[in-house]
Structure 1
Amino acid sequence: MGEIRAGTVLPARREDITLHTADGLELVGELALPEDRPPVATLVCLHPLPTAEGMMDSHVQRKASYRLPALAGLAVLRFNTRGTTSARGTSQGEFGEGETERYDVAAAIEYAEYHDLPHPWLLGWSFGTELALTWGRDPGVEGLLLLSPPLHRASDADLDAWGADPDGRPVVALVPEFDDYLRPAEARERFKRIPQAEVVAVDGAKHLWVGEPYVRIVLNEIVKRVAPDAYPLPTEWDISDG
């Protein structure tokens, strides 16, 4: 057995993908699937602000793709929103201040649906939470997982729309104790507009979730909602398995 560390990459089937938006752009991405079984659910990742170095390789979502296919049987879809660059390449288009990115969110959801990826949840981080709250109310989405939501671009009307969702789809916000933009007490007040919302305060954490202990908390909270049979996640991996 070996300890799962910050740089650990566990076995998965990984393929480069291209998303096609309704306004004619190609977005680069990657899909990671369990190596030897069908996925039990899907995470569609929406990354932090690209003008502040956010991209599909932002570390928490990258580590989700490295670990959760093997540990929890999840499909993890990551992509660069328009105009964003990572090691995978650069997506076409230009940053749209969270407005034209509506087409990017729709393209990712459509990809998951077209490829029969089961039970898709949107996993947004910072700017990505704004995209999820604003543009993620697609009937195919099962719920939202929000890391460090600033609630800058997402309006009260967006929150009210989720609060009025006839299916009461879950909205889970993981809020760092020392977040730069929205801390737990204020988050609880703001998210009261969504009766089914759950705010999880994470002691000691900051907006960027730096540090393996915080990454493990985030991944466990995700799995608890999306693939509860795999909760809690192991901290070791049998290296003979790959």
Structure 2
Amino acid sequence: MTTTAHPIRALSVLPARRTDIELHTADGLTLVGELAVPVDRSPVATLVMLHPLPTHGGFMDSHVLRKAAWRLPALAGLAVLRFNTRGTSSPRGRSEGEFDGGRAEQYDVAAAIEYADFHDLPAPWLVGWSFGTELALMHGADPSVQGAILLSPPLARATDADLDRWDAFGRPLVALVPEHDDYLQPEQARRRFARVHQAEVIGVDGAKHLWVGEPAVRRVLDEIVSHVLPGHGPLPTTWRGPVQTAQTPDPTDEVPVAAPTSQEDR
């Protein structure tokens, strides 16, 4: 019997074991999150997702991160760990504490990395988007981290000292920079990241900061998988097996997060 190949659409949810989790920070907060892992095998690597700016609508369900959790356990055998940083709310719940502009969030990043280590999640990579890239650069150079993938890095909070730390760290650093980004475009990014000798800056033609639309999402997920699992990809666009459709339209499919309005907001 032949299983029908279902096209993978914006609201397609592929099989995974999804578990609500809590992270506990060194400064005493409880953060809420979700872990998605493959149904019938151990994960081959782990993505620790760091979301966009919560004061402008970013949270663990920001659309690229949500779709990574919907697809990558099934398509690539990856574990996907998403969580709300301090003071951030989503349908999963509200993480304790208050937004601190990237400073006290160092404890949030550390708690997520510690969770992956304690639960034997293999080969963790950080995947940050916008504000999440700042957290990865400022706080992510942990010995257990295999590398980081940055989506739309603004390089507003992260300093040259943070880049120099990643250079010394020596682990892979990949920046996906939209051609039409509002804050840092590919040529600027190449100049800024030049001080990190192992950094790879990939300019994405036609893309914008918010990665709106299914073609942009597919490009991001393909790049993530090809760097975390060299030789794997591009991802299939159909799925032979059970597939669900998200029950309500995802408002972030068209406007994923509100774009920050100033350098200070990024």
TM range (shorter): over 0.9
Does the 8 A contact of 1:25 with 1:93 survive in 2? yes
Residue in structure 2 matched with residue 207 of structure 1 by the alignment = 209
Q: Separation in 2 of the partners of 1:161 and 1:240?
A: 44
Does the 8 A contact of 1:71 with 1:230 survive in 2? no
Residue in structure 2 matched with residue 112 of structure 1 by the alignment = 116
Residue in structure 1 matched with residue 91 of structure 2 by the alignment = 87
Mapping of 1:178-197 within 5 angstroms? Answer: 178-197=180-199
Q: Separation in 2 of the partners of 1:114 and 1:240?
A: 31
Partner-residue secondary structure (3-state), 2:205: strand
Give per-residue Cα distances to partners, 1:94-122, cap 9 Å, x unaligned: 00110000000000000000000000000
Mapping of 1:1-242 within 5 angstroms? Answer: 1-165=5-169, 168-240=170-242
Does the 8 A contact of 2:46 with 2:124 survive in 1? yes
Partner-residue secondary structure (3-state), 1:206: coil
Q: Separation in 1 of the partners of 2:119 and 2:110?
A: 14
Deviation at 1:180, TM superposition (A): 0.8
Percent identical pairs in the alignment equals 71
Q: Separation in 1 of the partners of 2:241 and 2:119?
A: 31
Deviation at 1:163, TM superposition (A): 1.1
Q: Separation in 1 of the partners of 2:204 and 2:231?
A: 23
Q: Separation in 2 of the partners of 1:57 and 1:5?
A: 17
Deviation at 1:239, TM superposition (A): 3.5
Q: Separation in 2 of the partners of 1:228 and 1:136?
A: 22
Q: Which amino acid aligns with 2:127?
A: L
Gaps of 5+ in 2: 245-266
- CA root-mean-square deviation: 1.0
Higher relative contact order (CA 8 A, sep 6+): 2
Give per-residue Cα distances to partners, 1:27-84, cap 9 Å, x unaligned: 0000000010000000000000000000000000100000000000000000000000
Matched pairs, number: 240
TM-score w.r.t. structure 1 length? 0.97
Give per-residue Cα distances to partners, 1:135-174, cap 9 Å, x unaligned: 0011000000000000000000000111122xx2100000
Deviation at 1:231, TM superposition (A): 1.1
Does the 8 A contact of 1:50 with 1:84 survive in 2? yes
Q: Which amino acid aligns with 1:122?
A: L
Does the 8 A contact of 1:12 with 1:69 survive in 2? yes
Residue in structure 1 matched with residue 254 of structure 2 by the alignment = none
Q: Separation in 1 of the partners of 2:74 and 2:87?
A: 31
